[in-house]
Structures are given as structure tokens and as C-alpha cells.
Structure 1
Amino acid sequence: MGKRHEALHPLSHHHHHTLVMAQKLKKADENASIQEMTREVIEFWEKDGRDHFRDEEEVLLPLYAQYASVDQEEIRDMLIQHVQIRGLIQHIRGTRRIERSVFNELGELLMVHVRLEERIIFPMIEKVVPEKYLYQANGKFHLDSYSGF
């Protein structure tokens, strides 16, 4: 991942965990335990995923909106992906017999999503938001359960 502004490190840190998870889901084949994957996805979501999306939607993007237009294709893609990911997670939580392909699809979507944010969205934000406000935003991010960041 590129050189990230220090204030956004907690989000990038979480992205790293997300990529590890995504790889596992993408590779899930007939040997993977559906129960185990379901448990991991739910835990991942409840510990960090849900709050991470909130950090981006309720803290980061509204801050960005004060300095640039959020009416951009990349931002729309990001938010649509948030909805799609939430939809897949709700499906996984609410379905007794989940097809393995759902986990593969979630893994693929998570990878695409993290790449979009790390390569495109975060650099856009870092370019226009004054540093001190990035640091203020950092103080509002949830604590990552893995790293304590």
C-alpha cells in the first residue's frame, strides 16, 4: 500500500486485516468450513467492519465534502460497495445454507473495495483536507480490535 498520511493509518491498518480476510474468502473451496467462515465473517464485521464503514461515512467523507465535491464516480462506487458488502454480510448472517460462492464474492468485493479506497479515495482526501483536520478525524475513528489503533 502506498504512503498513507499518518492520520489515516488506523483505516489503512484495518484495510490490511480486511485484505487478509478477503484472500481467505476468495480461496474458499470445498475444503473450507462454511460454519467457520460464517463465524469469521460475522466476527470481522462486528469487531471492526461495521465501525470502519461508519468512520468513513460519518467522519471522513463529510470532512472531505467540506473541501471538495463528493459527487464523483469514485465516491459513488465506494458507497455502493459499502451497501453491497453490508448486503452480503446480512445474507451470510441470515441464511442457513450459504453457498461457498457467496464467500468468494465477498472476498472479491472486499479486495476491489480496499484497492479503491487506498489507491484512489484516500489520496483524493489527503490532497485537499488540511492536515490538522485529518488529525482531528483520526481522534474520532473507532479503535481497531486487532491493533488497538
Structure 2
Amino acid sequence: MKRVEALLSLSREHHQALVVASRLGRLDDREALTACWRQLGETFFGPLRVHFDEEEHWILPLLPEGGELASRLLGDHRELRRLMDGREPAQWRAFGRCLKEHVRFEEKCLFEWLQMHYSSEQLLAAQCVET
């Protein structure tokens, strides 16, 4: 399904997240992985936290309270935040896997649900109120 205007910026950020997840999955060398993780800490984690906050303040109120979509959104964000503090390569690789699965969930389930239940105008209006 084509993305409505209100969700386009988040979808673009999801593309960048998939690039990061793929990069983490390809690195075998501990030194290269460490350098990559350090760079992500300097350039990617801050905007990713902002992305999570935006989704939680804007999208979460649109979801059925206590439902599976809301639970998954919050659970994934909590786990990804925890993994961002990881100090070992196994945690960094787990972050990449979790990030990839989370983006797939949002694009294929969450955003599809939003577009089926809200018009583009409703999503834009909610975005303006919540952000």
C-alpha cells in the first residue's frame, strides 16, 4: 500500500534503519563492528530515540488501548533502547536483528492498519496535535 503523506517521513527513516541493520549483520570483524557501533552512537541513536518518541506520542494514541499493535510498538521500542546500551558484539548484532524486524512490523502491520482506519487528513491532524 502506498504511504500517505503523514507517514512518509517515518517510512523514510525506516529505510535508513534497514540500512543500519543490514550493515550490522554483514560485519564479521570485531574491530569493524566496534567502529560501526561507535559511529552509530554518534550519528544514529539520537535521531532513532526521537523517532521512537514521535511514534509513541503521535501514533500510540491512535491505536486500540491495550491491543497487540500498541503492545508490540512499545515492547520493541523498549528492547531496542535497551540494546542501544549494549557493550558486546552479540548485543550489537541483536540490535540489528531486532531493528530489522521492528521496521518490518511497522511498515507491514502498523502503518497498514493506520491507513485502513484513518484518512490521510486525520493522520495529519493527529500528527500536528501530538508533535
TM-score above 0.5, yes or no: yes
Alignment map for 1:79-118 (pairs within 5 Å): 79-91=74-86, 98-118=87-107
User: What is the alpha-carbon distance in structure 2 between the residues aligned to residue 89 and residue 27 of structure 1?
Assistant: 18
Partner residue, 1:71: 66
Gaps of 5+ in 2: none
From the superposition, tell whether residues 25 and 140 of structure 1 become closer, same or farther in structure 2 (CA, over 3 Å): farther
Greater share of residues in helix: 2
Answering whether residue 44 of structure 2 is matched by residue 44 of structure 1, we say yes
Letter in 2 for 1:56: E
Contact 1:26 1:103 in 2 (8 A): no
From the superposition, tell whether residues 127 and 102 of structure 1 become closer, same or farther in structure 2 (CA, over 3 Å): same
How many residues are aligned here?
Answer: 130
Percent identical: 30
Q: Deviations over 1:51-104 (max 9, x none)?
A: 100111001111x14xxx23222321221110000001123xxxxxx3322221
Partner residue, 1:145: none
Alignment map for 1:11-22 (pairs within 5 Å): 11-22=10-21
Q: Deviations over 1:29-58 (max 9, x none)?
A: 126524422223212011x10110011100
User: What is the alpha-carbon distance in structure 2 between the residues aligned to residue 26 and residue 32 of structure 1?
Assistant: 14
- Using the TM superposition, give the Cα deviation of residue 132 of structure 1 relative to its aligned residue in structure 2, in angstroms: 1.8
Gaps of 5+ in 1: 92-97, 143-149
Alignment map for 1:119-134 (pairs within 5 Å): 119-134=108-123
Using CA pairs under 8 Å that are at least 6 residues apart, name the structure with larger relative contact order, 1 or 2: 1
- Using the TM superposition, give the Cα deviation of residue 141 of structure 1 relative to its aligned residue in structure 2, in angstroms: 8.4
Partner residue, 1:146: none
- Using the TM superposition, give the Cα deviation of residue 139 of structure 1 relative to its aligned residue in structure 2, in angstroms: 4.3
- Using the TM superposition, give the Cα deviation of residue 140 of structure 1 relative to its aligned residue in structure 2, in angstroms: 6.7
Contact 2:18 2:103 in 1 (8 A): yes
